[in-house]
Structure 1
Amino acid sequence: MNCRNTSIAPLRTRWWPFVLLGFLCLTTNVSAQFPQTFDGTFLPAGWVKFETGPDATQQWVQTATTQSGAGAAFIRYSVAGATNVDYLVSPQFTPTAGQSLTFWEREAFGTNYGSTFSVWCQRRCRPEQRTLPLRSSSRAENGS
């Protein structure tokens, strides 16, 4: 894992978005400063994945099912009774005034299995050190 600890700056200037996914697809694009897709080599340079829980067979992969572009990050559901918490972490970036983080997520099941999707901001590169939820929704909220 290529994860480094950087100097601590105010939370408004140093961002590590965390994408906490259960059964979700994701593409990410952050304005001109940090344009990112999953169209090419998977994972893009600087991205880190954390796959936790009892079901080690489910890992982040690239899929051609996208909202736009040729590729997206994807992780399948866990086995019945298993609770996996899987993170996809972007490289560090510093947003400037007027920029926004945009992404697309999708759940491919008609039944609500209790999936949760969250985007987190943090100043270090370990999932357990996440500090600020930017957005969190359950399947019922995102309408997938």
Structure 2
Amino acid sequence: MTRIAVIGGTGYAGRHIISAAASQGHVVTSFSRSEPLEPVDGAEYRTADVTNSEVAAAIAEEFDVIVSALAPRGDMVGRVRPATAELASAAAAHGTRLGVIGGAGSLLAYDGGPKVIDTDGFPDAIKPEASEAGDVLDDLRASDESLDWFFISP
């Protein structure tokens, strides 16, 4: 089975990804700064600081797929983009697939239109988070072709 690392596995999206992957028999390991309140059966949990380039490299070397569910909010504002860049660099070097859970703010409101974040009514309170997620998507789009990546905008 596929070895999957979920970065931010104790959060909302990460927990659901871990649950789905474990139920399919994949080997799933969560990396987060804290222990889960309700661990998912069949998943391993490790505490780690994935903003550290050595940690990112070790994860990319050990796993087949990395899914980053890091949210650029709270003390992670401004830290998710560089952390994702480190993961992307390590993933490309090791042939590891990288998935990122982003947000709708980075999508176009309609074909040829503005990004959702730039439309009237987009909440100011979440603009910093949406902006950083959009920057992550832009970085992935500009990455070297050796990086196998996907970006999901729930």
Answer yes or no: same fold by TM over 0.5: no
| More helix as a share of residues | 2
More strand by share: 1
> Which structure's relative contact order is higher, taking Cα pairs within 8 Å and 6+ residues apart?
1
Normalised by the size of structure 1, how large is the TM-score?
Answer: 0.31
